Amino acid sequence: MESYVFECGEARVDKPKVVLGVSGGIAAYKACELLRRLTESGHDVRVVPTESALHFVGAATWSALSGHPVSTEVWSDVHEVPHVRIGQGADLVIVAPATADMLAKAAHGLADDLLTNTLLTARCPVVFAPAMHTEMWEHPATQENVATLRRRGALVVEPAVGRLTGVDTGKGRFPEPAELFDVVRRLLARGDRPAQDLAGRHVVVSAGGTREPLDPVRFLGNRSSGKQGYALARSAAARGARVTLLAANTALPDPAGVDIVPVGTAVQLREAVLKAAADADAVVMAAAVADFRPETYATGKIKKKDGEAPAPIALVRNPDILAEIAGDRPRAGQVVVGFAAETDDVLANGRAKLARKGCDLLVVNEVGERKTFGSEQNEAIVLGADGSETPVPYGPKEDLADTIWDLVVQRLV
Ligand SMILES: Cc1cc2nc3c(=O)[nH]c(=O)nc-3n(C[C@H](O)[C@H](O)[C@H](O)COP(=O)(O)O)c2cc1C
């Protein structure tokens, strides 16, 4: 097998250096797409597969896609000491897929091939994306290894739930490569800031917009896409949190490593929030919740009748979830964040809402036909109950998400 010199001539030093460790799971082929995304977005990627990984995807593929030779063992180019240099020189290491075996080796500090040596010498953020059958994932040995790695500061992405190898379905599925790419990008963007400042925390995020059914085909809804809530979930997961995402009528790809609870109506969202918030360190209510719902639900489709005016729709108030959770926190010290979408007198209305709801932070943004809803961008002011005011200029929703978590982290006890 070919070997390589880590700092060889063609490596461009200005590119972030990512080590992509690949261990021997069936999902190894999906790591090819992650590799492509990383190289095409300007990362210098070294692929370090295990011997088992090469049963699934050959060295030629890794080499051609990364533009570098690959090796699995420590005995090539010994004068370059690659077992030390690769880890030392990396800005980020991601092991994807990470087998049960690799998690065990990493947790116990084994160093019997190039990847395990690299993991011991890396001082940069390290990410594991486990993929395996549900039984292997749930086994206490694997769970203890994951806990050990997390305690030491590694980001272990929760596997997704879905189709596994063969006919099996369950937890253990490799997350979408696009989602893992996003995790890598976010971690690298954090620079010197602590990468895992939400490690060991449970956060709850609501996203999307509730729908209040009128009849089996119609509902009262709103224009929220859920993108801001999903950005919050992704950001928190990349910072090490266990994330529960309460998704109200969204049509977005599942963020990697996030537990998703689909909800429909405001009443369902309330139930889900109260349940998930019981042990949460922070609750961020980014979903647009309907203030009212139809008083009655017609079990058959409401028909128009010739010559008759339509019957008026009587509405009743929905529960005020934000006020309820902020006023009676399910857990002491919990940080509660609300959102206020305002169309006019944005700041004054935001301040009044913050006082009324009793939350710690209120993210106030102006909405309109082309502003905020469905957009990739956002602009907001985050008001604190302590009188603070943090403006976040117009930019990607993920920037606002990062700022919100910065402010939450400052308030966590
Ligand atoms: C077809 C096949 C698929 C496998 N898929 C997985 C998997 O998805 N996850 C896993 O942990 N192990 C899986 N294994 C088992 C690993 O390949 C085995 O534990 C191996 O020793 C891992 O070596 P490595 O961690 O050095 O790559 C699979 C084995 C085979 C034969």
Whether ligand 1 lies within 6 angstroms of the CB of 290 is answered as: no
Q: Which tens digits make up the pLDDT trace of 142-187?
A: 999 999 999 888 999 999 888 877 777 888 999 999 999 999 998 9
Determine the distance separating the centroid of ligand 1 and the alpha carbon of 154, expressed in angstroms.
Answer: 21
Tell me if 322 is assigned to a ligand binding site: yes
- Residue 199, SS3 per DSSP: coil
The CATH architecture of the domain made up of 16-189 is 3-Layer(aba) Sandwich (3.40)
Whether ligand 1 lies within 6 angstroms of the CB of 53 is answered as: yes
Backbone angles phi, psi at 342, to 5 degrees: -120, 150
- Residue 138, SS3 per DSSP: helix
Whether ligand 1 lies within 6 angstroms of the CB of 28 is answered as: no
Tell me if 164 is assigned to a ligand binding site: no
Whether ligand 1 lies within 6 angstroms of the CB of 378 is answered as: no
pLDDT at 12 over 50: no
- Residue 341, SS3 per DSSP: strand
Q: Which tens digits make up the pLDDT trace of 81-126?
A: 888 899 999 999 999 999 999 999 999 999 999 999 999 999 999 9
Q: What is the pLDDT of residue 60?
A: 97
Ligand 1 atom at shortest distance from the alpha carbon of 99 = 11
Q: Whose CA is nearest to atom 5 of ligand 1?
A: 25
Residue to mutate (ligand 1; options 22, 26, 74, 137; most atoms within 8 A of CB): 26
Q: What is the pLDDT of residue 6?
A: 37
Q: Whose CA is nearest to atom 29 of ligand 1?
A: 25
Determine the distance separating the centroid of ligand 1 and the alpha carbon of 21, expressed in angstroms.
Answer: 14
**Quick one: 202-299+308-411 is in which CATH superfamily?**
CoaB-like (3.40.50.10300)
Q: What is the pLDDT of residue 369?
A: 55
Q: Whose CA is nearest to atom 4 of ligand 1?
A: 25
Determine the distance separating the centroid of ligand 1 and the alpha carbon of 52, expressed in angstroms.
Answer: 7
Determine the distance separating the centroid of ligand 1 and the alpha carbon of 75, expressed in angstroms.
Answer: 23
Tell me if 291 is assigned to a ligand binding site: yes
* Token reading at 402: 């990062």
pLDDT at 9 over 60: no
Tell me if 383 is assigned to a ligand binding site: no
Which of the following is catalytic: 117, 145, 222, 365?
Answer: 222
Q: What is the pLDDT of residue 387?
A: 92
Distance CA 356, CA 379 (A): 23
Q: What is the pLDDT of residue 366?
A: 79
Whether ligand 1 lies within 6 angstroms of the CB of 101 is answered as: yes
pTM exceeds 0.85: no
Give, to the nearest 10 degrees, the angle between helix 100-108 and helix 114-121.
50
Residue burial 234-258, b: 16+ Cβ < 10 Å; e: rest: bbbbbbbbbbbbbbbbbeeebbbbb
Whether ligand 1 lies within 6 angstroms of the CB of 110 is answered as: no
Distance CA 105, CA 118 (A): 12
Tell me if 171 is assigned to a ligand binding site: no
Determine the distance separating the centroid of ligand 1 and the alpha carbon of 108, expressed in angstroms.
Answer: 18
Q: Which tens digits make up the pLDDT trace of 221-243?
A: 998 999 999 999 999 998 999 99
Distance CA 191, CA 204 (A): 25
Determine the distance separating the centroid of ligand 1 and the alpha carbon of 130, expressed in angstroms.
Answer: 11
Beta strands in 160-296 (DSSP E): 160-163, 169-173, 202-208, 212-215, 218-220, 242-248, 258-263, 282-285, 292-294
Is 222 one of the catalytic residues? Answer: yes
What is the average per-residue pLDDT within 272-276?
97
Whether ligand 1 lies within 6 angstroms of the CB of 330 is answered as: no
* Token reading at 129: 């994306």
Residue ranges, comma separated, of all CATH 3.40.50.1950 domains in the chain are: 16-189
Distance CA 137, CA 148 (A): 14
Whether ligand 1 lies within 6 angstroms of the CB of 31 is answered as: no
In whole numbers, what is the pLDDT of the chain averaged over residues?
A: 91
Whether ligand 1 lies within 6 angstroms of the CB of 231 is answered as: no
Q: Which tens digits make up the pLDDT trace of 121-150?
A: 999 999 999 999 999 999 999 999 999 999
Tell me if 357 is assigned to a ligand binding site: yes
